[in-house]
Amino acid sequence: MTIPFIDIQAQRGRIGDAIDAAILQVTRSGQFVMGPQVHEFEAKLAAFGNARHALSCSNGTDSLMFLLMAWGVGPGDAVFCPSFTFAATAEVVALLGAIPVFVDIDPSTYNIDAVHLEATIEATKREGRFTPRVIIAVDLFGQPADYPALATVAHAHGLKLLADTAQGFGCRLHGKHPLHWADASSLSFFPAKPLGAYGDGGAILTDDDELHDVLSSIRVHGQATPRDAAARGFEHDPKYLNMRLGSNGRLDTIQAAVLIEKLTIFEDEIARRNKIAARYSNALAPHVARVPEIIVGAVPTWAQYTIEHEDRDGLAAHLKSQGIPTAVYYPIPVHQQPAYNCYPVGPGGLPVTENKASRVISLPMSPYLDDATQDAIVVAVKSYG
């Protein structure tokens, strides 16, 4: 038996016909770019995320990039982010000429540590080489970061707080989405994400009207916003009046159509993921070094179910021999990657990040993982010395 790591196809048994019909509707309409489904999806996404605005875009990386561009982040600015994440979190900072400053993580949740963040900001200020501008929190593995603590730090230092919820859209803390505390949230709809498209896609959530207008401009080559056009008396297509540097970052209409259908069952899928994760933890807690610890008041989305093991690589080989795939997120922290090892880290280095990178391993997870398959995975993990 071969078990998929993330069973993307299982969902098709539930809504495959509806998705196929939605795609066909787009192909028949011929409105492949910024068609009506894009605006419909944005409205429904904003409602789900309890946001005033949702702006879709081409991928999760662009959602991060566009926010930093809208906030004017550039050379000489410092952006504080974890190193225990995918490279995109720091990549967008460096591409804009700013400086990613890496912060250690909480050993329980793997998310950015608010105490070390505070120390890192203070050290950066004392050094005086860079101007602190933004904090990027990552909802790693689908669990919300400690946003109340992070918001306190951000407000104390006058910094923007960006929730990189690429893995965690739909997660809640004390019943609230990360946007309740953050200035904006960035989302990814990569197919393997809990809310995944049939290709690339991303979005930004914000309650800031002016920020949303600027983001709408950046998404289409810096085109004029309605306010820009009115101020200049410009009556032509706004894409021919370019007010700022932008990009080509639109979400395809077909992807929006797919995501509309997926959003209708997303809440139920989150509930299923939590039941499966709890079942894993109850069965595996006595047999591995560590099962996930959930921050108090959190409902994660479980993009991954990640344990720790003293012999991570040996366990991976053992499970592979039985047809059970695993993944390691992330074997090399960003601050140790060749492209990023020139950037600063917080005081004392990142010992927790480096320790966890050698111990974590993720097991198969999807909202459609049945009991029998999960039991087979658990037995295989237990059987490894």
**What percentage of residues in the chain have a pLDDT greater than 70?**
99
Q: Nearest to residue 205, comparing CAs of 177, 181, 185?
A: 185
Just list the catalytic residues: 193
Q: pLDDT at position 385, please?
A: 67
For tokens 């400053």, what's the residue? 101
Per residue in 200-227, is it b (16+ CB within 10 Å) or e — as a string?
bbbbbbbbeeebbbbbbbbbbebbbbee
Residue 188 φ/ψ region, left for φ over 0, alpha for ψ in the -120 to 50 degree band, beta for the rest: beta
Q: Report the pLDDT averaged over residues 243-270.
A: 97
Q: Is 31 exposed, middle or buried (0-12, 13-18, 19+ CB in 10 A)?
A: middle
DSSP secondary structure letters along 234-277: --S-GGGSB-S---B-PPBHHHHHHHHHHHTTHHHHHHHHHHHH
CA–CA distance, 11 with 1 (Å, rounded to integer): 20
DSSP secondary structure letters along 322-367: TT---B-S-SS-GGGSTTTTTS-B-TT--HHHHHHHTTEEEE---T
280: pLDDT strictly greater than 80: yes
Q: pLDDT at position 1, please?
A: 61
Q: pLDDT at position 2, please?
A: 80
203: pLDDT strictly greater than 90: yes
Q: Report the pLDDT averaged over residues 86-100.
A: 98
Contact 90, 102 (CB under 8 A): yes
178: pLDDT strictly greater than 70: yes
Q: What are the structural domains, with CATH classification, of the chain?
A: 9-103+110-263 (3.40.640.10), 267-382 (3.90.1150.10)
Q: Report the pLDDT averaged over residues 143-170.
A: 98
What's the pLDDT tens digit per position in 64-77? 999 999 999 999 99
Q: Nearest to residue 364, comparing CAs of 1, 7, 12?
A: 7
Longest dimension (CA), the chain: 74
What's the pLDDT tens digit per position in 94-117? 999 999 999 999 999 999 999 999
What's the pLDDT tens digit per position in 17-54? 999 999 999 999 999 999 999 999 999 999 999 999 99
The encoded tokens of residue 277 equal 């994760």
The pairing of beta strand 99-103 with beta strand 77-82: parallel
Neighbours of 55 (CB within 10 A): 26
